[in-house]
Structure 1
Amino acid sequence: MNKDKVNTVQDTVNEENMEQTHTASESGEHPEVQKSSNEENVSQETNSSEEAGLQAEIENLRNEMSEHQQRTLRVQADYDNFRRRTQKEKEELAKYASSKLVTELLPVFDNFERALAATEDNPEFESFSKGVGMIFRQLETVLNAEGLTAMNSVGQPFNPEFHQAIMQVESDDYEEGIVVEEVQKGYMLKDKVLRPAMVKVSM
Structure 2
Amino acid sequence: MAKHKEESTIDQTAEPNELTVVDYPEEAKEAAEAQKAEAAQNGDAAATVSADEFAALKTERDNLLDRLARLQAEFDNARKRQEREKQEFRDYATGNVVEQFLPVLDNFSLALKAEGSAEQLRTGVELIVKQMDEVLRGLQVQAIPTVGQEFDPRVHEALGSVERNDLPDHSVAEEIRRGYKIRERLLRPAMVRVVSNPQQTEA
Tell me which interval the TM-score lies in, with the shorter structure as reference length.
0.3 to 0.5
| Higher Cα radius of gyration | 1
Give me the TM-score of the superposition, normalised by structure 1.
0.46
Give me the TM-score of the superposition, normalised by structure 2.
0.46
